[in-house]
Amino acid sequence: MEPLSFQEYICSLDPTTLPRILRICSGVYFQGSVYEISGNECCLSTGDLLKVMSVALQKVICEDTVTGQTKELPPTFKGEQGCPPPWAQPHCPTGFFQPAPAPGSNPTLRTPFLGGRQWGLTLLQALGRCNGRPQPLLCPAIGPHTLLLHPVYEVHATMHLRRDVVKIPSTLEVDVEDVTEEAQHVHFARPLLLSEVLRMEEALPAQAEILEGPSGPAIFGSAWVSQLQRGQRLHLHGRSPAWRVLASAPSSGRHFLLSSAYQGRFRRRPRQFTGVQELAAGLRPGQRLQVVVTQDCEGQGDDVPPLGVGDRLEAQRLQGSGPGTRLLCHRHGGEEEDGEELLLPLDLGGGFVEEMCDSKKYGLAELLDQQPLPCEVRVVAADPGLKPDALGALPALRLEARLDQPFLIGSFCQEPEKGFEIPPRWLDFSLLLSEGSVCSPAPCTLRCRVEELTEAFYYRLLAQLPSSTAPPPPRPPKRTQRGMSPGGRHPSAPRSLTAGAHLSPPLPPLPALPQPSTSKQAGRSLPSRDSAWSVGCTSAGCALPSLLGTDHDDAEHDYETVDDDIQKTIRKMQAVFPF
């Protein structure tokens, strides 16, 4: 057929004959350029093929042949609402179209159109009788003059190597030629994303060519990732059955993704807790936690005794709710002493380390069955299939969370025996599947058992992890230290003291120290009495005024908080010397 304008061809197209294949002949876009069509970039070059899938009427441009004015009509046009215009004949349906009479004749709008039962045509019927070319029509709802209707269609078509359906307006100024009969053998290849291939397991295994490599920052440090470039050919073998564990090495700052196929052996490491809040969060339902105090912790009055280094505690459960929540612990006594029950507030400080005697070697799956995450482990037996195993030289490894992210097993066509596993949702790119079935053996994927992550991707992945199902215990309000005003300042510590100012009245001589108690309980309550006294002696000039009740005028001095070490010394001296 002879080339036609795109508008003329679409207006004369019979929708029942779709799909149709068109070839771009010539037009304003001769030699081809990139244009934005309905939000999509579309390159139209002479000789390109379009496969028209569907056509939808968008609007109709109504042109007045006398005045030259135009008006847009929606596809649902049924006439104007309200009173009929003055030029309309009585009892004439104003929303219908009728053919315009020949020049010089007297039109009668009430005459039925073509002897039919109705008084005219609807907008869609009138367009259907135009046969691709505008016909002069009359419509009382629009005006008294002859009208020409110019429909504007949205054409949905596919193009070679384009993923999405192209939406093109019929008014595009190009000439096209219908080549449907001679182009029956033409295959319009549609690129896919790797994430789309993941949902097409019935099409795997398959061979593919990378059209555009992955964009964005790198996620793995492996060498095979840099080979995912345009033009590279891949074998896609299928979905990997393995799950992953996110891990990090605190000592080196490195981060890893461990496959469930990892064959190394682990040994548990004791957990460390900073404060009672973390200790309570480490409790597991129905189990008790044995810990040893690693940092002195001061008590809170008579209800909460101090904790000393070496104290052995058994954390049992939480009691109470809201700000009054406390952790019930049992402090073990010595050989000749009974233990005692303690109710520790969650804002209590100190340090604790888990007391454990587990020397068993675990596989990764067995470890996760018995140990909730996160946990700290050490690799005591490297994976024999990895040479070298990057995890074997690390002193400690923190297992963060289990990930069930799907992976695809792939290999490069030039190295089919060396496999890798790609996470399509993290490392997506476009490719083109080859036709025909591919029968290739599954490659070796030993090198994917441990993948080192980039630091940026590790933290992005860590932020996406779901939070624990059990909410942490409520944090009580921050307590006010004894001897502190609500504003956080000590009422008897003027700023001049920190500058070494002279004190008045002079201090009385210190009483002689009593002999220290030899009981174990006393040793537990004051684990560092000697060191505390040495600090107190050097700071007596600053600390004792608050003990002796020296008053100063609040209006003449500005106060600030006394150093924490001095506060501790004051409280210990109060326990020794009842002034």
Say which amino acid occupies 231.
Answer: G
Tokens of 427: 């490392």
User: What's the pLDDT at 441?
Assistant: 80
Q: With pLDDT > 90 as the criterion, what percentage of the chain qualifies?
A: 35
User: What's the pLDDT at 488?
Assistant: 45
Say which amino acid occupies 236.
Answer: L
Report the distance separating Cα 258 and Cα 390, nearest Å: 11
DSSP notation for 63-126: EETTT--EEEE-TT----SSSPPTTSPTT--TT-BEEPPPTTS---TTSPGGG-SSSSB-HHHH
Report the distance separating Cα 104 and Cα 110, nearest Å: 18
Tokens of 170: 């019929």
Report the distance separating Cα 301 and Cα 321, nearest Å: 21
What confidence tens digit (pLDDT) does each residue in 389-422 have?
999 989 999 999 999 999 999 999 999 999 999 9
CA atoms within 13 A of residue 256's CA, in its CB half-sphere: 25
User: What's the pLDDT at 35?
Assistant: 57
- Of 447 and 538, more confident: 447
Name the band, by pLDDT with cuts 50, 70 and 90, for residue 42: low
User: What's the pLDDT at 153?
Assistant: 93
Q: Do 416 and 440 contact (CB within 8 A), yes or no?
A: yes
| Predicted confidence (pLDDT) at residue 508 exceeds the cutoff of 80 | no
* Neighbour-count burial for 271-304, b at 16+ CB within 10 Å, e otherwise: bebebbbebbebbeeeeebbbbbbebbbebeeeb
- Of 63 and 504, more confident: 63
User: What's the pLDDT at 524?
Assistant: 42
Residue 22: alpha-carbon gap to chain centroid: 43
Name the band, by pLDDT with cuts 50, 70 and 90, for residue 251: confident
Cβ contacts of 111 within 8 Å, gap of 6 or more = none
| Predicted confidence (pLDDT) at residue 17 exceeds the cutoff of 90 | yes
Cβ contacts of 184 within 8 Å, gap of 6 or more = none
pTM of the predicted model as reported, rounded to 2 decimal places = 0.60
Please tell me the least confidently modeled range out of 46-50, 128-132, 148-152: 128-132
| Predicted confidence (pLDDT) at residue 52 exceeds the cutoff of 50 | yes
Report the distance separating Cα 116 and Cα 96, nearest Å: 13
Radius of gyration of the chain (CA): 42
Tell the burial category of 220 from Cβ atoms under 10 Å away from its Cβ (0-12, 13-18, 19+). buried
User: What's the pLDDT at 94?
Assistant: 56
Sole residue written with tokens 């876009």? 29
- Could you tell me which of 243, 248, 244 has the C-alpha nearest to residue 398? 248
H or E stretch including 6? helix 6-11
User: CA quadruple 426, 431, 435, 439: dihedral positive or negative?
Assistant: negative
User: What's the pLDDT at 439?
Assistant: 75
| Predicted confidence (pLDDT) at residue 450 exceeds the cutoff of 70 | yes
| Predicted confidence (pLDDT) at residue 259 exceeds the cutoff of 50 | yes
What confidence tens digit (pLDDT) does each residue in 58-84 have?
999 999 988 889 999 998 887 654 445
Phi-psi category of 321—alpha, beta or left, where left has phi over 0 and alpha has psi -120 to 50?
beta
What confidence tens digit (pLDDT) does each residue in 150-179 have?
999 999 999 888 888 888 888 888 899 999
Q: Do 119 and 88 contact (CB within 8 A), yes or no?
A: no
Q: What is the pairing mode between strands 272-274 and 20-27? A: unpaired
Report the distance separating Cα 153 and Cα 170, nearest Å: 5
Sole residue written with tokens 């630091």? 455
Q: What share of the chain is helix, strand, coil (3-state, %, to 5)?
A: 20, 30, 50
Sole residue written with tokens 């070298």? 388
What confidence tens digit (pLDDT) does each residue in 315-337 have?
999 988 888 899 999 998 877 67
What confidence tens digit (pLDDT) does each residue in 465-502 have?
875 433 444 555 555 444 444 444 444 433 333 333 33
Q: What is the pairing mode between strands 233-239 and 206-212? A: antiparallel
H or E stretch including 523? helix 520-525
User: CA quadruple 215, 221, 225, 226: dihedral positive or negative?
Assistant: positive
Report the distance separating Cα 358 and Cα 449, nearest Å: 26
- Provide mean pLDDT across the span 204-211: 92
Report the distance separating Cα 470 and Cα 496, nearest Å: 50
DSSP notation for 353-367: EE-------B-HHHH
Q: Do 492 and 550 contact (CB within 8 A), yes or no?
A: yes
Sole residue written with tokens 């269609």? 153
- Could you tell me which of 46, 44, 55, 53 has the C-alpha nearest to residue 21? 53
Name the band, by pLDDT with cuts 50, 70 and 90, for residue 575: low
User: What's the pLDDT at 577?
Assistant: 55
What pairs with residue 37 in β-bridges? 40
Name the band, by pLDDT with cuts 50, 70 and 90, for residue 85: low
Report the distance separating Cα 208 and Cα 237, nearest Å: 11
Question: What residue segments make up the domains of the chain, in order of their start?
Answer: 4-178, 206-240+406-464, 244-270+361-402, 272-355, 495-509+516-576
- Provide mean pLDDT across the span 39-54: 78
Average pLDDT, the chain: 77
CATH topology of domain 272-355: SH3 type barrels. (2.30.30)
Q: Is the peptide bond before 388 cis (omega within 30 degrees of 0)?
A: yes
| Predicted confidence (pLDDT) at residue 260 exceeds the cutoff of 90 | yes
What confidence tens digit (pLDDT) does each residue in 532-571 have?
333 333 333 333 333 333 444 444 444 455 566 677 667 7
| Predicted confidence (pLDDT) at residue 360 exceeds the cutoff of 80 | yes
Which three-class secondary structure state does DSSP give residue 193? strand
| Predicted confidence (pLDDT) at residue 510 exceeds the cutoff of 90 | no
* Neighbour-count burial for 380-396, b at 16+ CB within 10 Å, e otherwise: eebbeebeebbbeebee
User: What's the pLDDT at 357?
Assistant: 81
Report the distance separating Cα 348 and Cα 301, nearest Å: 12
User: What's the pLDDT at 401?
Assistant: 93
What pairs with residue 559 in β-bridges? 494
- Of 196 and 491, more confident: 196
- Of 385 and 435, more confident: 385
In 113-183, beta strands by DSSP E = 137-139, 143-158, 166-169, 174-178
- Of 241 and 82, more confident: 241
Name the band, by pLDDT with cuts 50, 70 and 90, for residue 125: confident
Name the band, by pLDDT with cuts 50, 70 and 90, for residue 254: very high
DSSP notation for 374-423: SEEEEEEE--TTSSS-TTTT-S-EEEEEEE----EEEEETTEEEEEEEE-
- Provide mean pLDDT across the span 242-271: 93
Name the band, by pLDDT with cuts 50, 70 and 90, for residue 27: low
Q: Do 522 and 516 contact (CB within 8 A), yes or no?
A: yes
